[in-house]
Every structure is written in C-alpha cells, then in structure tokens.
C-alpha cells in the first residue's frame, strides 16, 4: 500500500517536473492551442437567429446577419446588421476588437443615416435585450484573459479540460468564467459566468458543432441561461460561409452605411 | 442567338428583380395635443392627428457592393396643409469599389456628433413642418464620389437642385414668428433653386478620435425671413449664397464621449461662428441590472448673440438618457435647453417602447417656457406646448 502511494507520488513528481507546468501555464497553453487551431479562417459570414425567453417562457425573436474578418496580430473585425424586429431593421454594428487596448465600436442608425461612435465600456451590457452581453459575443482574444487549468472532466461523454479564465480588460461584468473545452475540437462546450460578486449568474451551452474547411469548428447553437432572472436566450447560426474574399474595406464606416 | 440575347437581357435585369422581401417600412399614426390656447388666429386648438406612410425598397447585389434604394414618404395632417405632403426621401444607386464609392440620386447624408443641435450637418433641407426639431429631412439630389484610403474618406458632392424649407401652415401650431410663409422664395442666385452647390468632407477615425472637416459652397439651407412689404402679413424666405467651414470631433474614452462641432459661415450679409461643445457619460448595465443610464451635457454658442437666427446662442442642454435594455427596447431621453442670459427654457421628453414584434409606441412632449420677447423665436411659440403619442407599425 505504502509502496503504491510512493510510486504514485513519484510519478506525479516526474510528470510535473518533466512538463514544469503550473495550472496557469497549462491553462494558457490550452487557450493558445485553441487559438492556433482556429487561425486561418480569413473571413466568415452567417445568419443569426435569436430567441429571447422571459421567466414565463414568452418568446421574442431577433434576426440578424453577421460578417467577420480575421486580423492576424490583433483582434478581429465584425459587422452585424439587424433584420428583425422590423423597427430596428437596417441598424448595423461595427466592431474592431483589440487585444491590448479598448475595442472600437460604431453604430449606424438608418432613420437618421447617422454613424455614431459608441463607447466600448458597454461590455457588460446586454446585446439587443438578450442574456448575451457584448463581451460574450465579441472575438475572444488570448490576451484578454488570464488562465488556470482546473481539471479534466467528461461532459456529456466528451473528454474536456476545465479551465478558469479571468478577464484582464476593463468593464467586464464577470470576475471569472469556467469553461469546458473539448479535448478533440479545442472548442468550449460549456461556460459558467460568475458575476462581480463571484456568484454563478449565467451558463452558456454550445451544441450542433460543425467543421468548416476541414479545420474550423463552429457551434451552430448557443443557449444562455441567466440563473438569477430565469430568462434565457438561444442563438442559432445558419448559412455559415468561410473565405469568401471579404476585405477590411467591407468593415469600414462606408460599408456600414450601405448595408441593407 | 435568341438564347444568348435572352441571357444578356436576364443579366441586365437581375439587379432589378422584384422581391417582396426587399420591401420594408412603416405606417405611423400620430396624435398631438396642444395644452394651451393658440397665440394666433386661425391656428387649430387642442388635438391634431396625422398619419405618415414610409415604405422602403432596397435591392443590394454583387455582395453588397451595389445598392438601389427607394423611400417615398406621404403624410396626411388633420389641420395643417403644409404638413400634408408627399416626398421622395431617397431614390438612389451606389456602387462601391476598393478605393472609391459613387452614390447617385436623391439621398440623405448626416454629418456631426452632438445631440442638442446639428450645426455641421448641411446637405439636406429640414422638413420643419413635420417636426420642429429639424431632424426630419427632405431628400437631396446629388452626385457623391467618396475616395477611400489610408488617408480616410474624402467625400465630394455636387448638389444640382435645391429644396426649400417647409414651415407649419396658417392653421398649424409651432409656426413661430411667421404666420404665413410663402412658397415663393427669393434667391440670391439668379439660378434660384437650380444653382449648383458643392460640398466636400474629409473624415477619419484615428485611435479614440473621429474627425470630420467639411466645406460647403452654395445656397444656404437656412432662409432669412422677411415680411412682404405691402398687403397681408405674408413672409418671404430669402435664400442667400454662403460658404461654410465645419469641424466635427469626437473622442471616445472609456465611458466618456467628448464632442465638438464648430462652423464658420460667410455670406454677403453676415459672417459668424457657432459651436456646440458636449460630453456624455454612461453607466452601463450588466447581467444583474441591465439598464444603461447616460448623462448628456452640451453648451450651444453663436457669436451673433441676440441677432442670431437661432435661439441657441448661449445655452446649455442637460439630458438624461435611460435604456432599459429589455426585450421591448424601452428607452427615454429627458432634458432641457436653458438660455444662460434670458428666462427661456425648452423641456423635452422623448421615449419609446416596442409593442409585440412589429409595433412601436413613442411619446414626445415639449414645453416652451419663455418670458422674454428678446428670445423672439421661442417667445413666438411659448403657447405651443404639446404632448404627442405615436403608434407605428413596421413591416
């Protein structure tokens, strides 16, 4: 018995020394690997369908189209245009995420034909009245968090790393997030969000994963549950397209004004 | 041969293919109640209803690089015949390339950053009959070439036709100093409304800054209003030729927006400077309490002082913006513009909320407090306080 424990301790020691990896380093390594595997998609476009549910189960629908441009060495650019509800049809949102400085964001208001630069300190604010905050749907850059590997765990029969992330950017609504990262895809299957008081506020579940261009995994459905308000939001993606030749000119203020 | 011709024909008409999905728009029923007795004879008293229809057709092709837009507009007003009108707000085609965009036709263009007044914004004429706040605009015919590169965007405009400002009619409220403004305007230019105006604007975003520098040369959108020398009290708008230099600047830093709009306008009759200096701070919501609360403070200045055609020559605007960030997108802007020299204040409430999936209910209320005849523009509408409800259906 004693011998067995000794061998176990010894092997753990060797394992740790060999890799010389702290939980923080391992967490970061997982994030870097996930980022590496998702590099090279160039650009994407898709349709987004959003279903908002209140605590009584009443539903409200949103429909939008979104385009994204990969920027190597900085955060990605994205453009979202609303089709539904009809009163906000034509409203468009342009975002340049940055890994080291605050993001740049512009909003186009079609009735006034006005482009407004808006503060990116709205990270914790709800996107379109949904349970998704702006920071939940913006591009997830490695530099925006610190990481800590917690454990290995199976989630719905799939092997996952469980890692903790803490936002390093200002104005986050969270103290930390715990993610279940699929070991095969290097994509999160579940994320738990802890609010500023460090209590669990939301859980995000990803499903309907599909691989594009033989490389890039995307969840075609995300369900966000708010445990405090009992409201939930489902986001579904359709018609995903990759590498259709979009350029940075398709993501400027002029492009924002001509989107319909 | 026939097939080849048909194929070419099909290619040509593809951009014009008709699809119901590309139609959208709104129908709005507006109900205004004026709380005080009218100041002038013939003006209607109490309630006023109005209906507006604005369909919109957009066809975009070539991956969004080409766009055709058509937005007609019709309003029928119960009492004010000047408010009843039909207009084309937009009828345009644009094509976008890597380094330029060409936009042709009747369009609307907005320049500027501040909330309480829009000094720099000059391309489109205001439809003051529709709303006294000047945010309703007539469509402007134009050729607009935008040159786009690392230097930013340089927009060049040729504006071949002029649109006259609309004013509330004789029965209408909020008509101010001028009981009856005739449509027979007088122009400084012999070409009258066919005088060709030119404009240019350079704009660029640099880090936290959004900068715009603009120049306009042509017929002023703001008329000088003179009484007709003999006969009934009819007023004649006079449109002078002007040159205007404009600067609009915004710095977006954390939760702060710092704003500046400045113009210098020059004509044979006057030369003046005006500016709006503003700041906005927002407390953003989060998962526990989703509402945003914003504070807007602006200073409005015009160096003509009392002789300015605008009532905002030394005024402050203080506003509170609330967005509940709920499913119905409920939001409100409550505020006032106060003259720092005189006893005049405009109080204003604008609020709206979506009802179901396709309806929207909007509330607008304005109170004009004016006890000073030297602030003539506001003194003349001091009894035109109103509350307005608007129900709109969007399709």
Q: What is the pLDDT of residue A12?
A: 58
CA distance B395 to B384: 33
CB pairs under 8 A between A and B: 134
For tokens 């304005």, what's the residue? Answer: B366
Domain map (residue ranges) of chain A: 35-258
Q: What angle do CA B227, B230, B233 make, to 5 degrees?
A: 45
Report the predicted TM-score, pTM, of the whole model to 2 decimal places: 0.91
Reference A78, options A66, A90, A62; nearest CA is A66
Nearest CA-CA distance, residue A173 and chain B, Å: 6
Kindly report the number of other CB atoms within 10 A of residue A22's CB atom.
12
Pairing of β B344-355 and β B331-339: antiparallel
pLDDT band at A22 (very low <50, low <70, confident <90, very high): very high
Q: Using CB atoms, pick whichever of B96, B98, B357 lies closest to residue A61.
A: B357
Contacts of A112 in chain B (CB under 8 A): 110, 135
Cβ-based burial of A78 (10 A; exposed 0-12, middle 13-18, buried ≥19)? buried
Homologous superfamily (CATH) for A35-258 = Lipoprotein localisation LolA/LolB/LppX (2.50.20.10)
pLDDT band at B195 (very low <50, low <70, confident <90, very high): very high
DSSP per-residue string spanning B322-361? EE--STT--EEEEEEEEESSSSEEEEEEEEEEEETTTEEE
% of chain A exceeding 90 in pLDDT: 84
Q: What is the pLDDT of residue B1?
A: 42
Q: What is the pLDDT of residue B286?
A: 85
Q: What is the pLDDT of residue B378?
A: 85
Mean pLDDT for chain B? 91
CB-CB contact of B200 with B157 (8 Å): yes
Nearest CA in chain B to A136: B287
B12: in domain: no
pLDDT tens for B164-175 read: 999 888 888 988
CA distance A109 to B333: 16
Number of domains forming the structure of chain B: 1
CB-CB contact of B309 with B224 (8 Å): yes
Q: What is the mean pLDDT of residues A220-233?
A: 96
Contacts of A228 in chain B (CB under 8 A): 287-288
Q: Taking CB atoms and an 8 Å limit, are B210 and A117 in contact across chains?
A: yes
Q: What is the 3-state secondary structure (H, E, C) of chain A?
A: CHHHHHHHHHHHHHHHHHHCCCHHHHHHHHHHHHHHHCCCCCEEEEEEEEEEECCCCCEEEEEEEEEEECCCCCCCEEEEEEEECHHHCCCEEEEECCCCCCCEEEEEECCCCEEEEECHHHCCCECCCCCCEHHHHCCCCHHHEEEEEEEEEEECCEEEEEEEEEECCCCCCEEEEEEEEECCCCCEEEEEEEECCCCEEEEEEEEEEEEECCCEEEEEEEEEEECCCCCEEEEEEEEEEECCCCCHHHHCHHHHHHCC
Reference A103, options B325, B204, B152, B207; nearest CA is B207
pLDDT band at B13 (very low <50, low <70, confident <90, very high): very low
Q: What is the pLDDT of residue A16?
A: 55
Q: What is the pLDDT of residue B234?
A: 79
Q: Taking CB atoms and an 8 Å limit, are A60 and B135 in contact across chains?
A: no
CA distance B240 to B224: 8
Identify from B107, B327, B361, B362 which residue to disrupt to test chain A contact, counting A C-beta atoms within 10 A and taking the largest count: B327
Contacts of B329 in chain A (CB under 8 A): 85, 87-88, 128-129
**DSSP bridge pairs for A181:** A161, A188
Q: What is the pLDDT of residue B10?
A: 46
Q: Taking CB atoms and an 8 Å limit, are B285 and A254 in contact across chains?
A: no
DSSP state of B166: B
pLDDT band at B296 (very low <50, low <70, confident <90, very high): very high
Q: What is the pLDDT of residue B20?
A: 60
Nearest CA in chain A to B98: A249
Q: What is the mean pLDDT of residues B58-65?
A: 90
Kindly give, in sequence order, each residue whose CB lies less than 8 Å from that of residue B174, ignoring residues fewer than 6 positions away: B132, B168, B381, B384, B386
Q: Using CB atoms, pick whichever of B60, B250, B395 lies closest to residue A260.
A: B60
Q: Taking CB atoms and an 8 Å limit, are B326 and A89 in contact across chains?
A: no
B7: in domain: no
Contacts of B93 in chain A (CB under 8 A): none
What CATH number is associated with residue B23? 2.40.160.100
pLDDT band at B225 (very low <50, low <70, confident <90, very high): confident
Kindly give, in sequence order, each residue whose CB lies less than 8 Å from that of residue A236, ignoring residues fewer than 6 positions away: A48, A49, A50, A51, A220, A221
Q: What is the mean pLDDT of residues B90-108?
A: 96
Q: Using CB atoms, pick whichever of B96, B112, B135 lies closest to residue A258.
A: B96
CA distance A60 to A58: 7
pLDDT band at A9 (very low <50, low <70, confident <90, very high): low
pLDDT tens for A232-254 read: 999 999 999 999 999 999 999 99
Q: Using CB atoms, pick whichever of A112, A133, A202 lies closest to residue B135.
A: A112
Pairing of β B23-34 and β A232-242: unpaired
Q: What is the pLDDT of residue A3?
A: 57
Nearest CA-CA distance, residue A56 and chain B, Å: 13
- Which of residues A100 and A117 earns the better pLDDT score? A117
Contacts of A124 in chain B (CB under 8 A): 284-287
% of chain A exceeding 70 in pLDDT: 92
CB-CB contact of A238 with A210 (8 Å): no
Sign of CA dihedral B179, B185, B186, B188: positive
Q: Taking CB atoms and an 8 Å limit, are A126 and B325 in contact across chains?
A: yes
Reference A246, options A69, A76, A97; nearest CA is A69
pLDDT at A14 over 70: no
Q: Using CB atoms, pick whichever of A52, A89, A133 lies closest to residue B24.
A: A89
Q: What is the mean pLDDT of residues A155-159?
A: 95
Element containing residue B206 per DSSP (H, E): strand B197-206
CA distance B161 to B159: 6
Q: What is the pLDDT of residue B40?
A: 85
Q: What is the pLDDT of residue B171?
A: 86
Q: Taking CB atoms and an 8 Å limit, are B284 and A124 in contact across chains?
A: yes
Mean pLDDT for chain A? 92
pLDDT at B11 over 50: no
CA distance B130 to B166: 8
Element containing residue B298 per DSSP (H, E): strand B292-302
Contacts of B210 in chain A (CB under 8 A): 117
Tokens of B371: 């006890």
pLDDT tens for B358-380 read: 999 999 999 999 888 888 888 88
Q: Taking CB atoms and an 8 Å limit, are A126 and B290 in contact across chains?
A: yes
CB-CB contact of B349 with B336 (8 Å): no
CB-CB contact of A130 with A224 (8 Å): yes
pLDDT tens for B326-365 read: 999 999 999 999 999 989 999 999 999 999 999 999 999 9
Pairing of β B235-239 and β B186-187: parallel
What was the ipTM of the complex prediction? 0.91
Q: Using CB atoms, pick whichever of B60, B257, B358 lies closest to residue A86.
A: B358
B1: in domain: no
Reference B133, options B383, B311, B315, B341; nearest CA is B311
B257: in domain: yes
Q: What is the mean pLDDT of residues A196-215?
A: 96
* Total residue length of chain A: 260
Contacts of B26 in chain A (CB under 8 A): 86-87
B13: in domain: no
> Is the peptide bond preceding residue A152 cis, with omega within 30 degrees of 0?
no
Tokens of B143: 């050729």
Identify from A45, A65, A74, A117 which residue to disrupt to test chain B contact, counting B C-beta atoms within 10 A and taking the largest count: A117
Contacts of B60 in chain A (CB under 8 A): 258-260
Q: Taking CB atoms and an 8 Å limit, are B284 and A193 in contact across chains?
A: no
Question: B133 is in which domain, residue-wise?
Answer: 18-394
Contacts of A119 in chain B (CB under 8 A): 252, 254-257, 282, 284
B176: in domain: yes
């Amino acid at each position: 018995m004693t011998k067995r424990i000794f061998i176990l301790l010894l092997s753990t020691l060797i394992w740790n020394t060999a890799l010389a990896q702290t939980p923080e380093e391992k967490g970061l390594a997982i994030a870097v690997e996930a980022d590496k595997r998702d590099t090279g998609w160039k650009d994407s476009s898709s349709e987004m369908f959003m279903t908002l549910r209140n605590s009584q189960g009443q539903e409200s629908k949103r429909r939008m189209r979104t385009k994204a441009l990969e920027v190597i060495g900085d955060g990605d650019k994205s453009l979202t245009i609303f089709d539904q509800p009809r009163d906000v049809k034509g409203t468009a949102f342009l975002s340049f995420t940055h890994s080291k400085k605050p993001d740049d964001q512009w909003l186009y208001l079609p009735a006034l034909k006005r482009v407004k630069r808006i503060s990116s300190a709205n990270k914790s604010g709800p996107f379109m009245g949904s349970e998704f905050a702006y920071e939940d749907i913006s591009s997830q850059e490695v530099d925006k968090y610190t990481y800590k590997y917690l454990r290995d765990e199976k989630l719905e029969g799939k092997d996952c790393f469980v890692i903790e992330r803490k936002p390093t950017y200002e104005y986050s609504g969270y103290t930390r997030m715990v993610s279940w990262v699929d070991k095969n895809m290097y994509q999160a299957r579940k994320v738990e969000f802890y609010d500023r008081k460090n209590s669990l506020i939301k859980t995000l579940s990803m499903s309907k994963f599909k691989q594009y261009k033989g490389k890039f995994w995307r969840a075609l459905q995300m369900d966000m549950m708010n445990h405090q308000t009992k409201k939930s939001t489902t986001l579904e993606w359709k018609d995903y397209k990759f590498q259709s030749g979009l350029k940075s000119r398709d993501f400027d203020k002029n492009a924002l004004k001509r989107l319909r | 041969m026939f097939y080849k011709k048909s194929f070419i024909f099909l290619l040509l008409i593809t951009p014009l293919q008709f699809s119901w999905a590309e139609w959208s728009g709104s129908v709005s029923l507006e109900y205004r109640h004026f709380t005080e007795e009218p100041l002038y004879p013939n003006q209607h008293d109490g309630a006023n209803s109005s209906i507006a229809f604005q369909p919109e057709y957009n066809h975009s092709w070539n991956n969004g690089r080409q766009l055709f837009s058509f937005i007609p507009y019709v309003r029928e007003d119960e009492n004010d015949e000047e408010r009843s009108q039909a207009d084309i707000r937009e009828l345009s085609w644009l094509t976008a390339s890597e380094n330029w965009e060409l936009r042709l036709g009747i369009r609307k263009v907005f320049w500027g950053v501040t909330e309480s007044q829009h000094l720099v914004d000059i391309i489109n004429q205001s439809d003051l009959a529709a709303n006294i706040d000047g945010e309703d605009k007539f469509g402007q015919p134009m050729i607009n070439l935008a040159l786009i590169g690392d230097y930013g965007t340089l927009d060049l405009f040729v504006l071949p036709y002029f649109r006259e400002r609309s004013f509330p009619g004789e029965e209408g409220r909020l008509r101010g100093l001028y009981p009856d403004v005739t449509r027979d305007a007088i122009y400084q230019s012999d070409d009258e409304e066919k005088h060709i105006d030119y404009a240019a604007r350079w704009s660029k975003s640099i880090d936290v800054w959004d900068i715009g520098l603009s120049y306009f040369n042509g017929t002023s959108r703001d008329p000088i209003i003179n009484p007709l020398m003999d006969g009934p009290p009819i007023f004649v708008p006079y449109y002078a030729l002007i040159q205007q230099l404009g600067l609009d600047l915004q710095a977006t830093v954390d939760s702060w927006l710092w704003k500046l709009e400045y113009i210098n306008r020059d004509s044979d009759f006057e030369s003046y400077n005006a500016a709006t200096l503003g700041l906005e701070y927002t407390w953003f919501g989060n998962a526990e309490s989703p509402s945003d609360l914003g504070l807007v403070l602006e200073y409005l200045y015009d160096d003509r002082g009392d002789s300015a055609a605008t009532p905002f020559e030394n005024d402050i605007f203080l506003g509170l913006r609330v967005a509940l960030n709920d499913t119905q997108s409920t939001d409100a802007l409550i505020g006032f513009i106060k003259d720092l020299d005189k006893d005049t204040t405009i109080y204003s409430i604008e609020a709206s909320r979506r009802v179901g999936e396709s309806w929207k209910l909007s509330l607008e209320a304005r109170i004009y407090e004016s006890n000073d005849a030297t602030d003539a523009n506001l003194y003349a509408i001091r009894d035109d306080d109103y509350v307005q409800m608007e129900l709109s259906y969007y399709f």
